[in-house]
Amino acid sequence: MIYDTTNIFAKILRGEIPCATVYEDEWALAFNDIAPAAPVHVLVIPKGPYVSLDDFTLNGSNNEIAGFYRAVGKVARELGLAATGYRTLSNTGLHGGQEVPHFHVHLFGGRPLGPMPVR
């Protein structure tokens, strides 16, 4: 898996493109999706150059993986979503419909989300 350093999330990580940051730590950056599909729609991305969930879980260190997923949970709690519940989603590769080739977790919440969509 070759990481494309010109992808939009790489540019956001480098500060070349602005984003609405909701959380940042050593392992992760979380920001609002530009086209929200729910009242809360946040993207959580690792700081490292990983193409997809497949790449991240194959090549990420245990510290990166633990730090990243702890950050996902922390963002959800800080946004007040843990009590009511929320949905996470990672599109992976061609069949997954992944558009941006930097691993990301979508975090949706703020209303009942209905059954899991698989379109």
- The 3-state DSSP class for residue 95 equals helix
Burial of 40 (0-12, 13-18, 19+ CB in 10 A): buried
- How many residues form the binding site for ligand 5GP (CB under 6 A)? 13
**Percent of the chain as helix, strand, coil, to the nearest 5:** 30, 20, 50
104 has catalytic annotation: yes
Binds ligand 5GP (CB under 6 A): choice among 3, 22, 23, 33: 33
Q: Which stretch binds ligand 5GP (CB under 6 A): 25-33, 53-61, 64-72, 77-85?
A: 25-33
Taking CB under 6 A as the rule, does residue 39 contact ligand 5GP? Answer: no
Taking CB under 6 A as the rule, does residue 19 contact ligand 5GP? Answer: yes
How far is residue 12 from each of residues 15, 64, 110, measured CA to CA in Å? Answer: 5, 19, 25
Contact positions toward ligand 5GP, by CB under 6 A? Answer: 8, 19, 31-35, 43, 91, 97-100
